[in-house]
Chain A
Amino acid sequence: VTELLRVLGDGRDLPDKPIPNGLGEKELLEIFRWLVILRTFDERALTLQRQGRVGTYPMFWGEEATQAGPLYACEETDWIFPSYRQCAVGILRGIPPATILGWVRGYGGPAGFYNPREYRVGPIIVPIATHLPHATGAAWAAKILGDRTSSLAWFGEGATSEGDFHEGLNFASVFKTSTVFFCTNNQWAISTPVSRQMGTRTVAEKAAAYGIPGIRVDGFDPLACYVATRDALERGRNGDGPTLIEAVTYRIKAHGTADDPSLYRDEAEVQKWIHLEPVGRLAEFLRRAAVLDDERDQAIRAEAKELIAEGVRGLESIEQPGPEVLFDHVYASGKPWTFDEQLAEIRSVARQESAEPPQPPQRTGEAEVPEERG
């Protein structure tokens, strides 16, 4: 079992480690800015859900380091593959926050869907682990075409129980694709603890089965997540194949807005982890390193707040699409004849209802409803 890689101290027992090479003041502040954007989005989206303005939302509060850190290690041209837990990470690649909020709300107009090729961000994937082979395939295609492009996929520890975890890693290992498999082990899959997902002590040790490196990092530490990913990408680009990274973290909040963790876990457990949460922890570290002061901190938070507020305004300016949205973009080649008929069916019923108010059913002798019996 590999040692847990960590850079940030916690201001208590854990000491700070030296800042990794290549991270100057500018880079550190940028990583902090990314964490703050993600945190701001997450808190705002939860509020919007509580207000009934968006649908079921999967919170990632506390897991920002596992998203911003690895992404910061990627080149702009690298492909990333989020699951629903990383639904907002594409904002850091330029996807408008309104688009992601539109996904959570259930409609965003045509802008509610983004073109993955425009941002090199795979679609937000709901089923578990099935996007791991996609990440392998993207990096494999790059290799065939002679591009130095890598890929990175996020998934939880629960995803390691699925067959596609194996298939994604196995293909990547066989064909030596430059792929980072980034597991956010937050220890809970809804109510199922990690001990019910695997008989191994760690996720990282599963890498041995594929003959690839398995790294464990502190998942509340954005700099550790960054360094591990940066090293993995370098190996991948040098032709040494994929890496499995296990970011050990904890799901501070519920699985999603419809979940109630008090049914299955002791809230005291949350308190053991919450002081490690990455936004406050990086802020304190950067203050200790004299990189962050009140003024910069406030400016970064104000900017993030405005970015997300702009997203909410954008969201609310989008009208719900009509029923044509069901049919409009299933096929790139155009609509099959069935779609025109089926859309017309929706429209014809709506038209009749608005034309005349519904009448009570007419009873005829034969079809008379039998009287209720006592």
Chain B
Amino acid sequence: MPTLTMVESLNRALHEAMDTSNRVVVMGEDVARTGGVFRVTAGLLKRFGDERVIDTPLSESGIVGTAVGMSLYGMLPVVEIQFDGFIYPALEQILVHVARFGWRTNAEATANLVIRIPFGGGVRAPELHSDSPEGLLAHSPGLKVVCPATPSDARAMLLAAIAHPDPVVFMEPKRIYRAGRQEVAEEMPFDLHTANGATTTMLSTARVARDGEALVMFAYGSTVPLCIEAADRLEAQRGVNPRVVDLRSLYPLDVEAICTHGADCGRALVVHEAPRMAGIGAEVSSLIHERVMLDLEAPVGRVTGFDVPFPQFANEEDYLPSVDRITAGAIKVLEF
């Protein structure tokens, strides 16, 4: 099996999907000739041509809006929003049309597209290049919102998102795009055309990222490796052994995994970069409190970004959940 970074793995998935179906088109700003600002779409133009690998005008609403029309016609568009903070002009198309076409057509003509969004901070970028808008999207009925944390998941989940009959918002943690390499399977995980059941499972289940029992940390994207590091530190320094669960799916949340791990460990912490207010962490915390409160030894804790605009990059370490902050948050839950 080849050993790939997340960027390489996503790139391979796009090649595989475009190879499998001529209905797959890749569109966005600078995705063709430069291969995307993060090079996720590198090489596609040469292989598949400029009709299917499309440099668009600088217009997020136009990109998503025309992709809706393409999807209606039977295409499978994979659109790239260049940076998280550029999603805002496209929100009307996403919330009003992408999310609602299924509802509006008796589920017979969903807006069957994938919206890829490189997101999150930690890359010392200008304003609006470090946001975490996944809460806005998970809050909008009709979408599925997912976020891989490993190269292997990135490929399988992107293929699943493309094959899935509903629109999928695909959050890509850009901070760990090239953070590490992992063996990535070579065989296609499912038939792109007839994969509903398999893709639904792939796109709605959490996974255990680190075994343990003293406390469970729920995270996704770039905070998963941070939680693993914090858990290793807690084990080394305090002799407690935390579990880390990678949520992977932000809508729908894997309620079974969340409650099972929450009850099993009796102590839980939720970690994300997005602001705390009405974030994914609030929902995870509520689910645990509502369903398995009697199994808990402590209230569920949260370590998140703050309720402020993402700061200028000189101060981004103050905003981002760090290993120190996650460790401190875990100790607070452990010592309750």
**Which residues on the B side are within 8 Å of A178 (C-beta)?**
none
Interface flags for A286-329 (1: CB within 8 Å of B; 0: not) read 00000000000000000000000000000000000000000011
- With known contacts A130-B92, A330-B141, A167–B166 Cβ distance under 8 A: no
State the CA gap A328–B102 with chains docked (Å): 10
B69 touches A151 (CB 8 A): yes
- Chain B's closest residue to A117 (CB) is B109
Q: How large is the interface on B (under 10, 10 to 19, 20 to 34, 35 or more residues)?
A: 35 or more
Task: Judge if A9 is at the interface, Cβ distance under 8 Å.
Answer: no
**Which residues on the B side are within 8 Å of A118 (C-beta)?**
108
B73 touches A167 (CB 8 A): no
Overall SS of chain A's interface:
helix
**Which residues on the A side are within 8 Å of B103 (C-beta)?**
329-330
A332 touches B110 (CB 8 A): yes
**Which residues on the B side are within 8 Å of A138 (C-beta)?**
69-70, 72-73
Identify the interface centre among B73, B74, B101: most chain A CB within 10 Å of its CB: B73
State the CA gap A127–B25 with chains docked (Å): 27
Task: Judge if B142 is at the interface, Cβ distance under 8 Å.
Answer: yes
A134 touches B102 (CB 8 A): no
A110 touches B106 (CB 8 A): yes
Query: Which of B65, B74, B110 contacts A130, CB < 8 Å?
Result: B65
**Which residues on the B side are within 8 Å of A168 (C-beta)?**
62, 65-66
**Which residues on the A side are within 8 Å of B52 (C-beta)?**
144
- With known contacts A171-B59, A333-B200, A133–B142 Cβ distance under 8 A: no
B70 touches A167 (CB 8 A): no
**Which residues on the B side are within 8 Å of A332 (C-beta)?**
102, 107-108, 110, 112, 165-166
B104 touches A123 (CB 8 A): yes
Task: Judge if A114 is at the interface, Cβ distance under 8 Å.
Answer: yes
Given contacts A117-B74, A133-B93, A332-B107, 14 further A-B contacts (CB under 8 A): A113-B104, A116-B108, A117-B72, A141-B69, A163-B61, A164-B62, A164-B65, A330-B102, A331-B110, A331-B142, A332-B166, A333-B199, A333-B200, A336-B252
Q: List 14 A–B pairs whose Cβ atoms lie within 8 Å, in order of A's numbering.
A: A114-B106, A130-B93, A134-B69, A137-B65, A137-B72, A140-B66, A142-B73, A163-B89, A164-B92, A167-B61, A171-B66, A331-B110, A333-B196, A337-B255
B interface vs A, CB < 8 Å?
Answer: 25, 51-52, 56-57, 59, 61-62, 64-75, 89, 92-93, 96-97, 101-110, 112, 141-142, 144, 164-166, 196, 199-200, 204, 251-252, 255
Q: Which 4 A-B pairs have the closest CB atoms?
A: A137-B69, A133-B65, A167-B62, A137-B66
A interface vs B, CB < 8 Å?
Answer: 79, 110, 113-118, 122-123, 127, 130-142, 144-145, 149, 151, 163-164, 167-168, 170-171, 174, 328-334, 336-338
